[in-house]
């Protein structure tokens, strides 16, 4: 019999996900800010102080990756493809905000909690995926599906609260209300008092029974409300999202996303420097060291080393305890220089090469040209030649960087499409052959040639995995712009087209098209690149990379499709992998 009103929140959900140690903390903080925005607006703009505002935010997670509402159909396809055949978690963060008014000030007390439900998807066919996407249902649903409607046919099983997947954990919420207004003698519920709303300067990541001492908080016992003589109110305000309401942002709202972007270069440089000093190598294999010990090993000041280690800990790259510093799981996997999926080589490339292109970004934007000559004192062409191939040290660094990216992407590229129909393949510009070896492992009967510049081929031996001498991978030296291409059923261009001018693309694709066998379904071109959405604003990594002002372009899926069709390839298919690189496959048409 309680009276309630649904009030859409105007809080813009742009909190930086990487700032939170766990996905549920992100959901809780978003729910809290949605509820606080409504409470503040009702109090200031509508001269009504609500008794209670309930905010909720639901997210879908696969591993530690958060899947929210898809931005378009391609994004929905990407999400649902990743969920196909897998178990994922649905988290709802809930914030219960009790409001009271003292003169012109609004005072609030916040209790928050979260609920997790495990959901398993069946293996989804391409036809079923696209039929569901075209229904329109995924577009306003976290994770791209609604279990209570058509999306229910995708679900194999649910472990936990079904209503939590729908969007609100009703049972847990009712229990929490009972704890608040009829509390047990002993409890572990946290309240946060906000004297002024919504002045958010830090993320307060609270969960049941958890608190991070690094953030100052004011804790109040759960029976505070009872002591004040406050009973369960008649009016409950629920904060929700609405796509039909134009946001009006309160002047006091803290611009957390903008602040994160302002400090982004500092975070990047901290990662680059720690990698260059091989801090993560020192702390591998569960090693724990004090700042002084690390400083001694890297021959740096204790003061500077401690600040660098603290910065890495704040970024979630290291763990800090009273015993010292140690690697996180992701640091052990990706930042230690000699691990299978290490990104160390590419990080050093970013620091030593790419960083300088962005130092003069203002001039690059005004002129529309690369600014490498300002950072390195060389022309763009000379810089490219030197950095990629001619200088021994630079050549090795560049190949190591490409090797790092290839190790991370090769498996998903090789498995994006069924390539079993092909008998031979040629990876043009295949560098260290990482993708070629992955394809050879996936398709033992596929004969593969890596075709790259002589200086590259001369230095591939140190990048070959042990015991690979029996795999059918052949390395051939040549320039694919000038020389004849090896014959093959399948040609591969990985991270090539985005860096080429229209003129070079015309030369390259014309040569590939001419050598492909028309009418033979086994003759095709496989392209691995970052595929932008149709608005060309996502993924951010590709959009930002385009600011380096190379002579090439980042392209959307439709643009890649048109490009391949222009040179005689038809039945062009695009696979969004969820990895750094997406994959495009086109077959040579008969005429």
Q: Contact at 8 Å (CB) between 23 and 62? A: no
Distance CA 368, CA 362 (A): 10
Residue labelled with tokens 């996407």? 133
- Measured CA to CA in angstroms, residue 396 lies from 183, 263, 357 at distances of 65, 31, 20
Q: Contact at 8 Å (CB) between 532 and 574? A: no
Neighbour tally for 227: CB within 10 Å: 9
Give the tokens for residue 29. Answer: 């903080």
Neighbour tally for 244: CB within 10 Å: 5
Q: In the 3-class helix/strand/coil scheme, how is 65-116 assigned residue by residue? A: EEECCCCCHHHHHHHHHHHCCCEEEEEEEEEEEEEEEECCEEEEEEEEEEEE
Is residue 238 classed as helix, strand or coil in its secondary structure? Answer: strand
Distance CA 397, CA 389 (A): 10
Contacts of 54 (CB under 8 A, 6+ apart): 35, 94, 95, 96, 97, 173, 236, 237, 238, 239
Q: Contact at 8 Å (CB) between 266 and 310? A: no
Catalytic positions are 57
Q: Determine the straight-line distance between the first and last CA of the chain, rounded to whole angstroms.
A: 72
Distance CA 69, CA 331 (A): 29
Distance CA 584, CA 493 (A): 10
Q: Of 57, 58, 181, 49, whose CA–CA distance to 102 is shortest?
A: 49
Q: Contact at 8 Å (CB) between 377 and 409? A: no
């Amino acid at each position: 019999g309680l009276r309630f009103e649904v009030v859409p929140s105007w809080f813009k959900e742009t909190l930086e996900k990487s700032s939170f140690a766990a996905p549920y903390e992100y959901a809780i903080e978003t729910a809290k800010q949605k509820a606080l925005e409504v409470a503040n607006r009702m109090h200031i703009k509508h001269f009504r102080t609500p008794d209670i505002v309930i905010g909720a935010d639901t997210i879908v997670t696969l591993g530690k990756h958060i899947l929210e509402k898809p931005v378009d159909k391609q994004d929905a396809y990407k999400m649902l493809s990743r969920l196909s055949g897998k178990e994922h978690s649905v988290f709802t963060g809930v914030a219960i905000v009790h409001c009271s008014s003292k003169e012109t000030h609004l005072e609030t007390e916040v209790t928050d909690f979260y609920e997790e439900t495990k959901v398993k998807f069946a293996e989804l066919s391409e036809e079923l995926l696209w039929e569901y996407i075209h229904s329109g249902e995924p577009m306003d649903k976290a994770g791209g599906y609604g279990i209570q409607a058509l999306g229910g046919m995708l679900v194999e099983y649910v472990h936990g609260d079904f209503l939590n997947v729908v969007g609100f954990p009703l049972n847990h919420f009712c229990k929490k209300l009972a704890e608040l207004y009829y509390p047990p003698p002993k409890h572990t519920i946290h309240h946060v008092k906000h004297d002024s709303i919504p002045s958010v300067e830090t993320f307060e990541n609270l969960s049941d029974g958890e608190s991070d001492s690094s953030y100052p908080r004011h804790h109040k016992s759960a029976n505070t409300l009872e002591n004040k003589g406050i009973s369960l109110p008649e009016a409950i305000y629920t904060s929700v999202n609405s796509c039909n309401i134009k946001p009006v942002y309160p002047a006091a709202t803290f611009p957390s996303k903008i602040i994160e972007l302002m400090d982004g270069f500092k975070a990047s440089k901290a990662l680059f420097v720690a990698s260059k000093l091989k801090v993560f190598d020192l702390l591998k294999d569960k090693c724990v060291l004090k700042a002084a010990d690390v400083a001694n090993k890297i021959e740096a000041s204790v003061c500077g080393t401690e600040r660098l280690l603290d910065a890495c800990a704040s970024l979630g790259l290291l763990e800090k305890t009273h015993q010292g510093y140690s690697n996180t799981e992701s640091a052990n996997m990706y930042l230690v220089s000699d691990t299978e999926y290490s990104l160390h080589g590419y990080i050093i490339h970013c620091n030593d090469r790419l960083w300088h292109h962005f130092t003069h970004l203002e001039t690059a934007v005004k002129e529309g040209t690369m600014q490498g000559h300002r950072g390195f004192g060389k022309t763009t062409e000379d810089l490219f030649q030197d950095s990629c191939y001619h200088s021994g040290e630079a050549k090795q660094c560049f190949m190591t960087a490409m090797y790092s990216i290839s190790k991370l992407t090769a498996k998903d590229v090789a498995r994006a499409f069924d390539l079993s129909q092909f008998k031979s393949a040629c990876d043009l510009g295949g560098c260290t052959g990482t993708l070629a070896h992955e394809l050879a492992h996936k398709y033992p009967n596929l004969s593969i040639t890596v075709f790259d510049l002589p200086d590259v081929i001369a230095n591939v031996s140190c990048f070959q995995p042990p015991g690979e001498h029996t795999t059918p991978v052949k390395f051939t030296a040549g320039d694919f712009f000038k020389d004849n291409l090896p014959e093959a059923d399948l040609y591969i261009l990985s991270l090539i087209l985005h860096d080429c001018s229209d003129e070079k693309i015309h030369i390259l694709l014309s040569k590939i098209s001419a050598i492909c066998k028309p009418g033979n379904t086994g003759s095709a071109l496989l392209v691995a690149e970052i595929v932008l959405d149709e608005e060309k604003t996502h993924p951010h990594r590709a959009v930002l990379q385009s600011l380096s002002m190379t002579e090439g372009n980042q392209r959307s899926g439709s643009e890649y499709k048109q490009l391949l069709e222009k040179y005689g390839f038809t039945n062009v298919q695009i696979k969004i992998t969820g990895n750094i690189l997406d994959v495009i496959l086109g077959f040579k048409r008969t005429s």
